[in-house]
A = this chain, B = another copy of it.
C-alpha cells in the first residue's frame, strides 16, 4: 500500500502508533506544536515543518519569499497556541548546481521572516539534495497554563476567525489553472500566497484574554481546520457567516465560482480559527482590536458532531476536504 492511497491523515495515524509518548506532555502528541514542560510553570514549544520546492513553491514566488514563507508556516503553528516565537533553525537541502546567490536570497528570506516577528535565526545545517528543501524549526517559551488548546470548545461557544478567506484559493486558480483577473486584483490575490502573515500577536492577545476555549491555524484550509477543532473538542459547528474576503468575492463573481467554496476549501491562509465563551466575546474582541485585528464571528458550537452552513434556506455540510500532500495532483 502506498502512502498516496491512505493520504496524509491516514499516514499520520500509522506514524503516531509507532512511538511511545513522553510522560507529562503539556499538549497531546502530534498537535500543531510539541511542548516540553520545564518544571517551573513554563514550557518549551517546538515546531518543525518542511517546505519542498517542487510541491510547495508556486510559480512566480522568489527564493526570498519561499524562505520567508517557511518561517511563517512554522510561526503560525506557534501563533495558534498563543506563543511568541523566539528562535528559528533551518536544515537546508540544496542541489549541487544551486548558486551562491540563490542561497543568499534564501537566507535573506529567513532573516526577514524571523525579524518581522522579533525572533532570531540561531542555527542550521546544509546538505546536498535533489531539490531545494527548507526544513524549518521554530522555538518559543510560554507559561504552560496559557497554551491555547485544540480540544476545549463547548456547545454555545462562538466560532470566530482573525480574518477573511478565499484569496489563496483564488490565487492558486490563477497560478495553477490559468484563471484570469485584472492586474490589480491579481496582485492582491497573489500576495496572499507569496507574502502570507502569521497571526502571532493575535494568538498572544487571545491567549492572555482567557476568553478562548480552542484554537487552530488554518494552514490546511478553513474546512479542514473546522473538522480538526470538532474532532479534538468532540463537538460540531453551525456556521452563520462564512468569512469570504472581498477580493475572493470579486474573483468568484467574475468566474461564476461559489465564493463560499473558495473560502472553505483553500489552504495556506494562516488565520486563527477559534472558539470563545459566549460570556467573554467582548474581551476577545477588545484583545484583538488592541493589535489592530477585527474579530469575525462566523458561527456557533453545537453538540451535534456535524459542521453545516445555510445557503438559500438549505443546510449544507462543510466537507472534510482541502490540501493533502500525498493525494493531490
Contacts from A to B (Cβ < 8 Å) = 1-4, 6, 8, 11-12, 14-15, 18-22, 25, 29-31, 33-34, 36, 38, 40, 42, 44, 46-50, 52, 54-56, 86-87, 89-94, 96-101, 103-104, 107-108, 110-111, 115, 120-131, 133, 135-137, 139, 141, 325-326, 328
Contact = CB atoms under 8 A, between A and B. Distances in A.
Q: Which of A3, A56, A123, A326 has the most CB of B within 10 A?
A: A123
A143 to B, nearest CB: 13
A89 B15 CA distance: 12
Give 4 nearest A-B pairs by CB, closest first: A34-B123, A18-B107, A22-B120, A135-B135
Nearest to A98: B3
Given A137-B137, A326-B96, A129 B55 contact: yes
A2 B126 contact: no
A56 to B, nearest CB: 7
Contacts of A93: 50, 52, 133
Contact of A3 (B18, B19, B103, B131): B103
Interface of A is mostly: mixed
A2 B102 CA distance: 9
Contact of A137 (B6, B48, B101): B48
Contact of A44 (B29, B44, B54, B92): B44
A171 B100 CA distance: 33
Nearest to A21: B120
A97 B48 contact: no
A98 B30 CA distance: 21
Contacts of A97: 2, 4
A96 B54 CA distance: 13
Contact of A96 (B2, B21, B123, B125): B2
A299 to B, nearest CB: 29
B133 A50 contact: yes
A55 B111 contact: no
Nearest to A47: B123
A33 B133 CA distance: 20
Contacts of A14: 100, 103-104, 107
A309 to B, nearest CB: 30
A130 to B, nearest CB: 4
